[in-house]
Structure 1
Amino acid sequence: MLATTAESKHSRRPAGGAGATAKAPRQPLRRCLASGAVLPKADLLRFAVDPEGQVVPDLGERLPGRGLWLQPRRDMMEKACKKNLFARAAKRQLRVPSDLVEQVELLALRRCLDQLGLARRAGSVVVGYEKVKAALKADRIGLLLQAEDGAADGTDKLRALAQAVGKGTAVQSFCDAAALGAALGRSAAVHVGVMRGRFAAALERDVERLAGLRGGQDRGNGVGRPTEGERWST
């Protein structure tokens, strides 16, 4: 359902200019229950246990208690549930909701839309083909979002422009025009640009998590498109 292209991860310029040598701060590491891989916390999803002994997702990493960590991939989630890995890690009996995988996917989608709304309120979003095109040409966009049901002509042109002139501009798609619009206080939105900075980086990370939770394997084939139904062209 969701495909992404993200050129930004390997092409962002280091802070302080070309000659900067300062080391990035070390990130805390955690082990994925399902794969055993030890990864930075930013690359994992946290789960917690509520007072009744039920496993609950903690995408914001704010709930108290010991965290249980998984890579944000559908297969990792399914493995953890099927093999009772949460209980093994906690060394006690736990209740795992039968729809935990679906819960996490919905929460991840809501988090993406909420982050987009925050970026809009902070003045870090431009909407509409012409405004996004101008911002791309000025190399101001860190993340280009395109509706899954957007017309191919417009989405293809902006994606090509982002790849041609954007130094580290990610291009992603995760929902339809109506959902993008609702997050931005309008009826629909097909082309959305998030300005370079913390909002673009955080939202890119959250959309990639959502892709993994939906079972996305290849994030380099461009924007996912609907196979039927009306496409937005504005």
Structure 2
Amino acid sequence: MTAGSTTRAARRAAMFGGGGEEAGTFRRCIATGETRPKAEMIRFVAGPDGTVVPDLAGKLPGRGLWVTATREAVGQAVKRKAFARAAKAQVLAQPDLADLCARLLRERCLALLGQARGAGLVTAGAELVSALLSGPQAGRVALVFHAADGAEDGLRKIAGKARGVPLLRVFTAEELGLALGRESVVHAALIRGGLTDRLLTEARRYAGFTAPAPEGR
């Protein structure tokens, strides 16, 4: 299997999943030595050619090599040859592995956001989001996106109403707009649902590879 086909396999697994290991809730990071919930980590496997690829869905066959979901941790794992030590084999971790993780996580998040829109879980637009957060359905809001390139005053207004709701700034207005079928979107709120839970987990992982970091609790 070539490096290109290995990357494509990782992308398919990230987007669509499959069968694989599910035992346990926590894993030890091979870069930092810390034990964390699996939701805060990324599983890697070595492909048939020995190239390390991210398995975002945790479904690819093979021994899982777990790393904290941050650019720094993945970079450390590559630099310190932690993948080879953990695998006890000659495996190759490409220098741009953190960039690959970021691209796959971005694709995964935006695909989930589009699915959430189709399921009727998304409210977009400053006025509509503000009204939702101020209305009787406010308790159902589980996640709010504010465009990373959006105005700070708009963020403050929404944040003031989104108390206790995770507020993430990991996508641009154009990226949010493309996922939601619009030219651009600065604010988007999602009500509770299985897709929202998955998106929150993936967006928090993606935040470890971008700046600024997620806000909220």
Give the TM-score band, short-chain normalised: 0.7 to 0.9
Aligned to 1:7: none
SS in 2 for 1:30: strand
Deviations 1:68-99 (A, max 9, x none): 10001222111110111111111110111221
* Aligned length, in residue pairs: 191
Seen in structure 2, the aligned counterparts of structure 1 residues 153 and 43 have a Cα distance that, compared at 3 Å, is: closer
Question: Greater relative contact order: 1 or 2 (C-alpha under 8 angstroms, separation 6 or more)?
Answer: 1
Partner of 1:145: 145
**C-alpha distance in 1, partners of 2:143/2:61?**
32
- Residue 232 of structure 1 aligns with which residue? none
Please list every run of 5 or more consecutive structure 1 residues that lacks an aligned counterpart in the other structure: 1-25, 223-234
* Pair 1:90–1:75, CA change in 2 (3 A): same
Q: In the alignment, what sits opposite 2:16?
A: none
Asked if the contact 2:141–2:190 (Cα under 8 Å) also holds between the matched residues in 1, the reply is yes
- Write the distance in 2 (CA, Å) between the matches of 1:130 and 1:219: 22
4+ runs of 1 displaced by more than 4 Å?
Answer: none
Could you say which residue in structure 1 is the equivalent of 2:168?
A: 172
Normalising by structure 2, we get a TM-score of: 0.81
Deviation at 1:113, TM superposition (A): 1.0
Identify if the C-alpha distance between structure 1 residues 87 and 181 changes in structure 2 by more than 3 Å, giving closer, same or farther.
Answer: same
Say if 1:90 and 1:112 are closer, same or farther in 2 by CA, change over 3 A.
same
Matches of 1:114 and 1:157 in 2, distance apart? 28
Match among 201, 204, 207 for residue 203 of structure 2: 207
Q: Which of the residues 58, 61, 72 maps onto 1:75? A: 72
Instruction: After superposing the two structures, state which structure 1 stretch, 194-203 or 125-134, moved more.
Output: 194-203
Aligned CA-pair RMSD: 1.9
For residues 146-198 of structure 1, the C-alpha deviation after alignment (integer angstroms, 9 at most, x for no partner) is: 112223333321111112xxxx3111111111110001111111110111232
Contact 2:170 2:210 in 1 (8 A): no
> Matches of 1:81 and 1:170 in 2, distance apart?
31
Rounded Cα–Cα distance in structure 2 between residues aligned with 1:203 and 1:27 = 21
